[in-house]
Structure 1
Amino acid sequence: MLTSEFDYSLPADRIAQVPIEPRDSARLLDTRDLTDHRFRDLPELLEPGDLVVVNRTRVRAARLIGRKLMSGGRVEALLLGRVTGTLWRAILKPARRLRPGEEIAFGAISATIVEGPVDGVAVLDLWSADDVETAITAAGQVPLPPYIKTELADSERYQTIFAKEVGSAAAPTAALHFTEDVVGRLQERGIDLVEIELRIGLDTFRPISSPTIEQHQIHSEEFFVPDSTQAKIDACQGRVVAVGTTVVRALESQSDGGSTDLFITPGFRFRVVDLLVTNFHLPRTTLLVLLVAFMGDGWRNAYEVALNRGYRFASFGDAMLAELQADHA
């Protein structure tokens, strides 16, 4: 399929730059009948016996600012994840004059370039007197998506209330709207909530640059589906409600964990997920392709309605509730 089929006109001022307060006051478009709601209304839009699944991943404070030991030149690193042991993959800026063997100090963290940079990506050997993850948390900043230009006053606002396991380069943003009150009212209606973990990489922000989606290679991401979660899914008498595209990818990978490079495109047969809660995605992204695969051609009308009604788009934007099209199951 042509990548241009997943394009639409999105004015820059419709990309939300700050999160709305309180979290559950974000708007929610029910695409089944195109009615407007607030996210706090989600429990009433679902039915007793439904099962809500969220991603419990936590965004790593992966943006490090440091200095080259030899010249004192400034270097910014964005950690993409651990390769093995003390080795980490990172995007370095500026990368043009960096070479293997170069040493960089990021506060209490010492780094040596082992490989690269190639296209800005290098492998670093990190060392700290303390645990490296602890040192990263102390020295680093939570990275925001490249289309958000406003600094957050509180970095916890880019974490969900479910965030536990550190490891992602981005937040599972559909779950940013949840509050303890919403969770409590789901339970009161007989709607259970369970967790999975998928460690989100920066590929989630990368537009599809190839002429066709078949030519695009999606990066693999680590995920884990606890036995207790799988048991609840297997026993579910209602609908499985995925909160975010990361949950869809984890559940539809049909495994209890490992690494997934599943690229869900139109024609994919969904076996687990019945309803999807998600934000409004940018044009020409794998996230939008997944949505189209899930809800079919109705996505374009839903997005047009959202734009006409003033909904906010992207990570800090509003949400939508979509139903799996019958012929996609």
Structure 2
Amino acid sequence: MNVSDFNFNLPEGLIAQHPLEKRDESRLMVLDKKTGEIQHEKFYDIIDYLKTGDTLVLNNTRVMPARLIGQKEITGGKIEFLLLKKIEGDTWEALAKPGRSAKVGKKFTFGDGKLKAEVIEVLENGNRIIELYYEGIFEQVLDELGEMPLPPYIHERLEEQERYQTVYSKEKGSAAAPTAGLHFTKELMDKIEAKGINIVYVTLHVGLGTFRPVKVAIIEDHDMHSEFYMLSQDSADIINETKKRGNKIISVGTTSTRTLETIGDENGIVREQSGWTNIFIYPGYKFKVIDKLITNFHLPESTLIMLVSTLATREYVMHAYDEAVKEKYRFFSFGDAMFIK
């Protein structure tokens, strides 16, 4: 299958640059995966499409303020590091800008010396392995000195950093938010639970690979990025019980979906597990665990639109995207939502 099969015309003005004042007042396109029928709602209407006994699966990862801006220790030249993933201890893989300044052995300082870094390796892809030095608790140092790493298509400054976190975020480790969850409020989640719908959590730490363009012409040739995931036994038990009694699993976001489909066996049974996944879901894949999906509107030719097209067919999804452009839905991280039922 060709990557170009997932292209569509997206006016730049539809790329949302800021979140709405109220999270759950974003628009919601409801797509029937069997018929292709489309309905237009508000996100708070999602509760009307969830049934008692169903289970909603959310990704509780939390975005780290992983963008560090500092200086060369000797010359004072500007440097920017974006922490991608922890290797072990205080050793991290990071993006460096400008890269020419971040050679092996070079040392850098942040926040008047509260945090220091040394480059210990340059990887083939240009990323750096760096060692961090500080006093106290790393999370507190990072909260003080780091900035939120917004996606490359958001050009406006985010005044309230917490708006790039879900209201249920807990496990720090992501370089980007699981954006389908940004629409939920605590009040909406309380209403969902009061209706008898289970809410369970997985963790998948979203990497910047989620923004990486597909550079090959044929889908099967794409090398999918890897991300760390966790699923608890309690969550696994509820998911398995839901499927056993014939209720539905509604995945919130492509990250929750990739986690569940990585763990699920051929019968759709999941168990407590953690590890790294590079699962690539594109048309032809048969879902084992999830039944329905809440997601945002994604980039043309991205692995995310390919995943969505696997659940509802490419024809229905591309038609829905054309409809979203026509109806001026807001796209990407701070944009509107789609529910595939």
Tell me the TM-score range normalised by the shorter chain.
over 0.9
Which residue does 1:277 correspond to in 2? Answer: 294
Amino acid paired to 2:15: I
CA distance in 2, matches of 1:172, 1:225: 16
Contact 1:98/1:117, CA 8 A, preserved across alignment: no
2: CA distance, partners of 1:303 / 1:131: 45
Q: Provide the C-alpha distance between the structure 2 equivalents of 1:314 and 1:75, rounded to a whole number of angstroms.
A: 29
Following TM superposition, the consecutive aligned residue runs of length 4 or more in structure 1 with deviations greater than 3 angstroms are 117-120
Match runs of 1:136-215 below 5 Å: 136-215=142-221
Does 1:247 find its partner at 2:247?
no
In 2, are the aligned partners of 1:109 and 1:132 still within 8 Å (CA)?
no
Could you tell me how far 1:117 is from its partner in structure 2?
6.0
**Aligned 1:96-175 pairs, distance under 5 A:** 96-107=100-111, 108-116=114-122, 118-175=124-181
| Matches of 2:44 and 2:101, distance apart in 1 | 50
Secondary structure of the corresponding residue to residue 183 of structure 1? helix
Q: Distance in 1 between matches of 2:194 and 2:69?
A: 46
Deviation at 1:76, TM superposition (A): 0.5
How far is the alpha carbon of 1:175 from its aligned partner? Answer: 0.4
Equivalent of 1:300 in 318, 331, 336: 318
Partner Cα separation in structure 2 for residue 11 and residue 49 of structure 1:
40
**Cα contact 1:99–1:117 (8 A) shared by 2:** no
Q: Distance in 2 between matches of 1:102 and 1:130?
A: 23
Letter in 2 for 1:314: F
Q: Does the aligned pair in 1 maintain the 2:6–2:318 contact within 8 Å?
A: no
1:180 Cα offset (Å): 1.4
Q: Which residue of 1 aligns with 2:268?
A: none
Which residue of the partner structure matches residue 327 of structure 1?
A: none
Residues of 2 paired with 1:97 and 1:136: CA distance?
22
- Structure 1 distance, partners of 2:173, 2:74, is 31
**CA–CA distance in structure 1, aligned partners of residues 48 and 309 of structure 2:** 25
| 1:169-192 deviations in Å (ceiling 9; x for gaps) | 000000000011211111222111
SS of alignment partner, residue 232 of structure 1? helix
Q: Which residue number corresponds to residue 44 of structure 1? A: 48
**Cα distance in structure 2, aligned partners of 1:83 and 1:187:** 38
Counterpart of 1:246, as a letter, is: T
Query: Matches of 2:66 and 2:279 in 1, distance apart?
Result: 25
Where do 1:34-73 residues align within 5 Å? 34-73=38-77
Task: Tell which deviates more after alignment, 291-300 or 60-69.
Answer: 291-300
Please give the alpha-carbon distance, in whole angstroms, between the structure 1 residues aligned to 2:226 and 2:62: 18
Report deviation, 1:106: 1.7
Give the equivalent residue in structure 1 for 2:340.
322
SS at match of 1:247: helix
Counterpart in 1 of 2:237?
A: 231
In 1, the alpha carbon distance for the partners of 2:95 and 2:164 equals 21
C-alpha deviation, 1:137, in angstroms? 1.6
Q: Which amino acid aligns with 1:252?
A: E
Tell me, yes or no, if structure 1 residue 268 matches structure 2 residue 285.
Answer: yes
Q: Which residue of 2 aligns with 1:19?
A: 19
Gaps of 5+ in 1: 324-329
Instruction: Show CA shifts across 1:98-148 (max 9, x none).
Output: 310000002211100001165541000001012223211211001100000
Which structure 2 segments of 5+ residues have no match?
Answer: 264-270
Percent identical across equivalent pairs? Answer: 41
Q: Secondary structure at the match of 1:90?
A: strand
Which amino acid in structure 1 is aligned with residue 142 of structure 2?
Answer: I
Q: Conserved in 1, the CA contact under 8 Å of 2:95 and 2:127? A: yes
Tell me how far 1:157 sits from its aligned partner. 0.3
Corresponding residue for 1:89? 93
Match of 2:266 in 1: none
Matches of 2:129 and 2:156 in 1, distance apart? 29
Count of residue pairs the alignment pairs up = 323
Instruction: Decide whether the 8 Å contact of 2:79 with 2:101 is kept in 1.
Output: no
Tell me, yes or no, if the aligned pair for 1:93 and 1:120 is still in contact at 8 Å: no
Give the whole-Å Cα distance in 2 for the aligned partners of 1:117 and 1:227: 36
Inter-partner Cα distance in structure 2 for 1:69 and 1:170: 29
Asked if structure 1 preserves the Cα contact closer than 8 Å seen for 2:165 and 2:177, the reply is yes
Name the structure 2 match of 1:287: 304
Measured after TM superposition, the shift of residue 303 of structure 1 is: 0.7
1-side partners of 2:262 and 2:101: how far apart? Answer: 40
Q: Which amino acid aligns with 1:115?
A: E
State the alpha-carbon separation in 1 of the partners of residues 67 and 101 from structure 2. 20
Distance 2:56 2:274 in 1: 19
Q: Which amino acid aligns with 2:337?
A: A
> CA RMSD, aligned part only?
1.1
